[in-house]
Structure 1
Amino acid sequence: MDKNPEWRSTAVFTREEVEALLSDARLPEDRCILYALLFLTGMRIGEAVALRWNAWDPSARPLGRLWVSRAFHRNQRREKSVKTERLREVPVHPVLACVLAAWHHEGWERKQGRAPTAADLVVPSRRGEHRRDPVVHAQLLEDLELLGLRGRRVHDTRRTFISLALADGADRDKLAWVTHGPKGDIVGLYTTLPWESLCTEVAKLKAELRPPSTPPAGGAPPSDEAP
Structure 2
Amino acid sequence: MKNKTPLRRAHHEGSVRRRPDGRWEVRFTIPASDGEKARRKSYYCHTKQEAVQILRGQWDPQWNLGPNGTTLLTVGEWLEIWLEHKELSLKPSTLRHYKSVIRCHLKPLFRRRIYQLSLTYIEAFYREKLHGGVSPGTLLAFHKILHQALRYAVKEGILLSNPAAGADLPTRPVYTANVFSRSQQLQLIENTEMIPYGICIRLALGTGLRIGEIVALQWGDIDLSERVLKVRRTQGERAEETLSPKTKNSHRAIPLTQNTAEDLAAWFKKMEPTTLDTPVFPDEDGGYLLARKLRAEYKQLLETLHLPSYSFHTLRHTFATRALEVGMDYKTLSILLGHSSVTFTLDVYAHCSDTHKRREMARMEYEYQEFPEELMLSRYERYRRQVEACPEVMTKEQFRIACHISKRKAKELLDNGVVPCEITGNKTWKYRIRKSDVLSYLERVRGVKSF
* TM-score in same-fold range (> 0.5): yes
Asked which structure has the greater CA Rg, the reply is 2
Unpaired segments of 5 or more residues in structure 1? 110-114, 184-192, 201-227
Distance 1:152 1:120 in 2: 30
Distance 2:186 2:274 in 1: 26
Unpaired segments of 5 or more residues in structure 2? 1-135, 139-172, 342-424, 433-451
Distance 2:236 2:274 in 1: 23
Give matches, 1:121-140, under 5 Å: 121-140=279-298
| Structure showing greater relative contact order (alpha-carbon pairs closer than 8 Å, 6 or more residues apart) | 1
> In structure 1, what is the equivalent of residue 426 of structure 2?
194
- Tell me the SS of whatever aligns to 1:121: coil
Give matches, 1:10-159, under 5 Å: 11-24=178-191, 27-28=194-195, 30-60=196-226, 64-74=227-237, 78-86=241-249, 87-105=251-269, 107-109=270-272, 115-159=273-317
Contact kept? 2:234, 2:244, Cα under 8 Å:
yes
Q: How many residues align?
A: 179
> In structure 1, what is the equivalent of residue 28 of structure 2?
none
> In structure 2, what is the equivalent of residue 212 of structure 1?
none
Identity rate, percent: 29
The AA in structure 2 aligned to 1:82 is: P
- Tell me the SS of whatever aligns to 1:194: coil
Distance 1:18 1:94 in 2: 18
The verdict on how the C-alpha distance between 1:26 and 1:37 changes in structure 2, with shifts beyond 3 A counting, is closer
Contact kept? 1:74, 1:133, Cα under 8 Å:
no
Give the deviation of 1:49 after TM superposition: 0.5
Q: 41-50 or 131-140, which moves further after superposition?
A: 131-140
The verdict on how the C-alpha distance between 1:52 and 1:77 changes in structure 2, with shifts beyond 3 A counting, is closer
Give matches, 1:202-221, under 5 Å: none
The verdict on how the C-alpha distance between 1:76 and 1:94 changes in structure 2, with shifts beyond 3 A counting, is closer
Give the deviation of 1:74 after TM superposition: 2.0
The AA in structure 2 aligned to 1:23 is: E
The verdict on how the C-alpha distance between 1:162 and 1:85 changes in structure 2, with shifts beyond 3 A counting, is same
Contact kept? 2:179, 2:314, Cα under 8 Å:
yes
Contact kept? 2:239, 2:288, Cα under 8 Å:
no
Give the deviation of 1:37 after TM superposition: 1.6
Contact kept? 2:206, 2:257, Cα under 8 Å:
yes
Report runs of 4+ in structure 1 exceeding 6 Å deviation.
none
The verdict on how the C-alpha distance between 1:177 and 1:143 changes in structure 2, with shifts beyond 3 A counting, is same
Distance 1:108 1:19 in 2: 26
Distance 1:156 1:22 in 2: 14
> In structure 1, what is the equivalent of residue 7 of structure 2?
none
> In structure 2, what is the equivalent of residue 189 of structure 1?
none
Pick the structure with more helix per residue.
2
The AA in structure 2 aligned to 1:95 is: N
The verdict on how the C-alpha distance between 1:17 and 1:74 changes in structure 2, with shifts beyond 3 A counting, is farther
